[in-house]
């Protein structure tokens, strides 16, 4: 139980967790619900199939990991398992989409060139911080299993 829920009530982990949660909840909402101008689940499945050759079931799993993982980060519940899922999704995104475009984001919007993997790498680092140290302060995980009996 402590391996999943245990966390030191760190304020820095709260900041990292909330930042990560907002980013993934927003992107997951686009993919699953069509919020914020997103395609919704049907559009996401189609894009993943046509653009990357990802089977529909895997597209649904990835979209749900982003959506539910983001929500998990925001409330701090099951943060470590969610962080692991987000790391896997970002590693696959790097391998299938971003690595071929190099490191940097395409801020100049050069036609025919996508974004590199720098943003994905930052998200992986943030998720790795939560995976290692737990959800931090103001988390449901900390309420369930307080670190060091505090």
111 CB neighbour count, 10 Å cutoff: 6
On the question of pLDDT at 25 being above 60, the answer is yes
On the question of pLDDT at 148 being above 60, the answer is no
Quick one: how far is CA 108 from the chain centroid?
25
Report the pLDDT value the prediction gives residue 6, as an integer from 0 to 100. 83
DSSP single-letter state for residue 111: T
Dist CA 19 CA 123 (whole Å): 9
pTM attached to this predicted model: 0.91
On the question of pLDDT at 147 being above 50, the answer is yes
94 CB neighbour count, 10 Å cutoff: 17
Report the pLDDT value the prediction gives residue 150, as an integer from 0 to 100. 44
What angle separates helix 56-75 from helix 11-33, to the nearest 10 degrees? 140
Domain count of the fold of the chain: 1
Q: What is the average pLDDT score of the chain?
A: 94
State the DSSP string of 25-49: HHHHHHHHH-GGG--HHHHHHHHHH
The residue range of the domain holding 91 is 2-149
pLDDT for 71-119, tens place per residue? 999 999 999 999 999 999 999 999 999 999 999 999 998 998 999 999 9
Distances (CA, A) of 95 to 42, 54, 82, 132, 137: 23, 12, 20, 23, 33
**Three-state SS at 23:** helix
């Amino acid at each position: 139980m402590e391996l999943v829920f245990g966390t030191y009530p760190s304020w820095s982990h709260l900041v990292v967790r909330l930042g990560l949660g907002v980013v993934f909840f927003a992107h997951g909402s686009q993919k699953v619900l069509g919020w914020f101008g997103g395609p919704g689940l049907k559009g996401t499945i189609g894009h993943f199939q046509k653009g990357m050759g990802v089977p529909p079931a895997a597209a649904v799993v990835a979209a749900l990991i982003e959506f539910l993982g983001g929500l998990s980060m925001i409330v701090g519940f099951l943060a470590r398992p969610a962080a692991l899922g987000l790391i896997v999704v970002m590693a696959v995104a790097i391998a299938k989409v971003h690595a071929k475009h190099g490191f940097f984001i395409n801020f100049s919007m050069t036609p025919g060139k996508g974004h590199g993997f720098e943003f994905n790498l930052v998200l992986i680092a943030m998720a790795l911080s939560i995976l290692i140290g737990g959800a931090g302060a103001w988390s449901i995980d900390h309420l369930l299993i307080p670190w060091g009996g505090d």
